[in-house]
Structure 1
Amino acid sequence: MGKPVHSAAASALGYQHQTWWALLELLRANHLRPDAAICLELHDDIAWEQAGSATELLQVKHHQKSDRQLTDASADVWLTLKNWMDTAMPCDTDGPALVLVSTQQAKPGSAMAALRPQTRSEQVALSALERAALHEASGRIQDAREQFLALGQVDRAAFVSRIKVMDSSPHIEDIPALVRTELRWNLPPGHEDLFLAMVWRWWDEQALALLQKRRRAVDIGMARAAIAGLRDQFTRALLPTVAAREETGDDALITDYADSPFVHQMKWVGYPPVNLRHSVIDYHRAQAQAIRWIAEELVAADELTALSRDLVDEWETEFEWMQIELAATTDEATRQRAGARLLRDLSQRNGPCLQNRYHEAFFVRGQRHELADTGRVGWHPEFRDRMRTLQARS
């Protein structure tokens, strides 16, 4: 059982390396390909597009802690060549450039070494590949070698002329430092790690959309604008959103907070289940956001205290009007509807904001639920009595 697990881990690492390498490609090409866009698993592992047509195809090979060299007999080489012969019109001299990116070092004197940009010799590479193709192999590697020889001399030369090898490329653990270097002029002083975490989160979302075919490509202009937008959140007038909306964690959150006072408060007024679910998520995100802001010294505790005070003042006014309207009503269903309407109406308002520095609605909604969790605000006309009963049981 050990071998398949190891193989799966290496494969997963390779896919992760591929997506991270695509971000590095995107950042490095910022000024070199101003109108280009990058794709994942569309034309190849990674591809550059111009006006919807592929201009460069990249096969990305990752070998963790391997001392083996990239030779003309390597499976990586022949499986890559077969992929390109099957899909990239190898005989077309005007076809997209073909790039093999490998963490392994090309063996001196090999075709792979001859296809490096700095030591390029297409004739040496062609001759070396032809010699390697004459050696028998098995399976798809043998198929690839026979297919290569079947191209004919002129077509083989045309094919090899489009190939470039980028050997000794960085390993996956080196990519974050390289991304940081590419973004060095954008790093907000004092908050570098937080900003980089936000860039990575943005890229993870884009990569997932590319792999799921919800997005065809990410162009350089889009990447530049997104990164600039993240950087702008670190001006003195604004605060960054650092708590992501994690879809996969929703069910766990509902379970974790099932017995929290703020959830009981919503149940006391018969708050609809979908709205209750979203409220739990708002509460969790707002809590995580406030903790991270304080840890990063982006917000002082006094600012959050002032926001809570403003939210309580807003609530007191509306709660008093509700009590006046219900003064002659003892019907529980009516009282519940009034409480639910109070919470709904407040949730739909922009409401107070954090020193005019942050305006995302989820944060204010979450802060209201935090106040409800401590009993400072509530929705049912008798919420105070019920909170005392709830606290006595705990």
Structure 2
Amino acid sequence: MGDPVHSAAPSALGYQHQTWWALLELLRADHARPDAAICLELHDDIAWEQAGSATELLQIKHHQRSDRQLTDASPDVWLTLKNWMDTAVACDVEGPALVLVSTQQASPGSAMAALRPHARDERVALSGLERAALHQASGRIQQAREQFLALGPADRAAFVARITVMDSSPRIEDVPALVRAELRWCLPVGHEGLFLAMVWQWWDERALELLQRRRHAVDVGMARAAIADLRDQFTRGRLPTVAAREETGDDALTTAYGDSPFVQQMRWVAYPPVNLRLSVIDYHRAQTQAIRWIAEDLVAADELTVLNRDLVDEWETEFEWMQVELAATTDEADRQQAGARLLKDLSQRNGPCLQDRYHEAFFVRGQRHGLADTGCVGWHPDFRDRMRTLQARS
């Protein structure tokens, strides 16, 4: 077992808490800033922007232990102050608001307690930080204290006036319940868990884009629109997409399904490798989605049976035409090409849908591969004989 002192778990929890807290910030955004946007690890741990300029910087500090207090000497305090002095121009009275969000409780009578949003006393806070800065420390903490004292009296006062301390904030395990509470107005009755999982999936994807710099920010309007769209998927006439493309690991799936009958069927017609890989993803997503729909009572098994029957009917018509065209052909290359063309043509159709409730093309394609996996449909003219041989070996 690894040394808990050097464990990466607290850091990992801290980063996860940071991204989860950003979602909570978005959901809590009121009508006073409908055009505001949130960033991750850009200006600070979390930052609010308005018209491209940072208006509020948040440092998020997460601690699992509840017996330690946030004091004026705490490393969290001085490392946060240094970060802001380095990046936020401490003396700029018009600069962004500075917020320290900590799971620890501010020590009574401390500068941190005096900077809570209610009952603020900036003079007490400034005096407390100046006293703490006079004590010797080491490394970056000592640098931060010297940097703070190097500010002129007016600049120190202006700097402290921009700081708010949100102590005793919820820990990571409490955030999901808070997110649920913020979304209580739109929870679909009977499907609350699935809807919340879809919201979290949406946010995890956006957070990754923010951290990878593929997206600059997520604004309040975008979040509200995305959540409303997810909620609309639970109306009577629609079904939600619960198996996202981003959930699939392409290489892992290709390996996992490499010996499956539906993959063998594609190999019998020399289906191109990129299309084969995408077909495996369609199959996996369709199967995953069908299972989750049934588990959530969104779809009855009979509905899927009807859809599969319609897909088999559609396939039978096209398969027979292919056989007619190949009647005088025994060349294996021609027969493979005909089978590949049949699969390609069917894959390019939307085909039958699930009682007009769901029209995503990947689902129909995946269902076709599910039928091919059982041998109900096939692509090579001799697929039935080959399936019998395959099943005899298994």
- Aligning the two structures, in what range does the TM-score lie when normalised by the shorter sequence? over 0.9
Deviation at 1:250, TM superposition (A): 1.9
Q: Which moved more, 1:244-253 or 1:333-342?
A: 244-253
Deviation at 1:257, TM superposition (A): 1.1
* Cross-structure match for 1:183: 183
Cα distance between partner residues in 2 of 1:4 and 1:212: 29
* Cross-structure match for 1:334: 334
Once the two structures are superposed, the pairs formed by residues 371-382 of structure 1 within 5 Å of their partners are: 371-382=371-382
* Cross-structure match for 1:62: 62
Cα distance between partner residues in 2 of 1:210 and 1:343: 39
Deviation per residue, 1:222-278 (Å, 9 max, x gap)? 000000000000001000011122466222211111111111110000001111111
Cα distance between partner residues in 1 of 2:101 and 2:169: 7
* Cross-structure match for 2:134: 134
One-letter code aligned to 2:392? A
Cα distance between partner residues in 1 of 2:2 and 2:315: 60
TM-score (norm 2): 0.98
* Cross-structure match for 1:199: 199
* Cross-structure match for 1:290: 290
Name the SS of the counterpart of 1:116 in structure 2. Answer: coil
Judge conservation of contact 1:285–1:366 (CA < 8 Å) in 2.
yes
One-letter code aligned to 2:162? R
**Residues 26 and 127 of structure 1, relative CA distance in 2, 3 Å threshold:** same
* Cross-structure match for 1:390: 390
Deviation per residue, 1:171-206 (Å, 9 max, x gap)? 000000000000000100000000000000000000
Deviation at 1:66, TM superposition (A): 3.1
Q: Which moved more, 1:240-249 or 1:29-38?
A: 240-249
Deviation at 1:51, TM superposition (A): 0.2
Cα distance between partner residues in 2 of 1:3 and 1:136: 30
* Cross-structure match for 1:100: 100
* Cross-structure match for 2:44: 44
Q: Does 1:217 align with 2:223?
A: no
Cα distance between partner residues in 1 of 2:12 and 2:336: 51
Once the two structures are superposed, the pairs formed by residues 13-162 of structure 1 within 5 Å of their partners are: 13-162=13-162
* Cross-structure match for 2:366: 366
Cα distance between partner residues in 2 of 1:179 and 1:246: 22
Deviation per residue, 1:368-394 (Å, 9 max, x gap)? 001001111000011111111111111
* Cross-structure match for 1:281: 281
One-letter code aligned to 1:236? R
Name the SS of the counterpart of 1:240 in structure 2. Answer: coil
Once the two structures are superposed, the pairs formed by residues 315-334 of structure 1 within 5 Å of their partners are: 315-334=315-334
Deviation at 1:118, TM superposition (A): 1.2
* Cross-structure match for 1:299: 299
* Cross-structure match for 1:263: 263
Name the SS of the counterpart of 1:327 in structure 2. Answer: coil
Deviation at 1:30, TM superposition (A): 4.1
Cα distance between partner residues in 2 of 1:7 and 1:25: 29
* Cross-structure match for 1:348: 348
Judge conservation of contact 1:57–1:96 (CA < 8 Å) in 2.
yes
Cα distance between partner residues in 2 of 1:125 and 1:331: 88
Structure 1: 4+ residue segments shifted above 3 A:
1-7
Judge conservation of contact 1:99–1:165 (CA < 8 Å) in 2.
yes
Name the SS of the counterpart of 1:164 in structure 2. Answer: strand
Cα distance between partner residues in 2 of 1:183 and 1:32: 19
Cα distance between partner residues in 2 of 1:243 and 1:30: 31
Judge conservation of contact 2:199–2:227 (CA < 8 Å) in 1.
yes
**Residues 373 and 30 of structure 1, relative CA distance in 2, 3 Å threshold:** farther
Q: Does 1:243 align with 2:236?
A: no
Deviation at 1:363, TM superposition (A): 0.5
Deviation per residue, 1:326-380 (Å, 9 max, x gap)? 1111110001000000000100111111001111111000000010011110000
Deviation at 1:209, TM superposition (A): 0.2
Cα distance between partner residues in 2 of 1:61 and 1:258: 45
Deviation per residue, 1:100-135 (Å, 9 max, x gap)? 000000000000000001120000000000000000
Name the SS of the counterpart of 1:117 in structure 2. Answer: coil
Number of aligned residue pairs: 394
CA RMSD of aligned residues (A): 1.1
Cα distance between partner residues in 2 of 1:386 and 1:357: 36
One-letter code aligned to 1:204? D
Judge conservation of contact 1:30–1:220 (CA < 8 Å) in 2.
no
Cα distance between partner residues in 2 of 1:3 and 1:29: 41
One-letter code aligned to 2:123? Q
Judge conservation of contact 2:248–2:281 (CA < 8 Å) in 1.
no
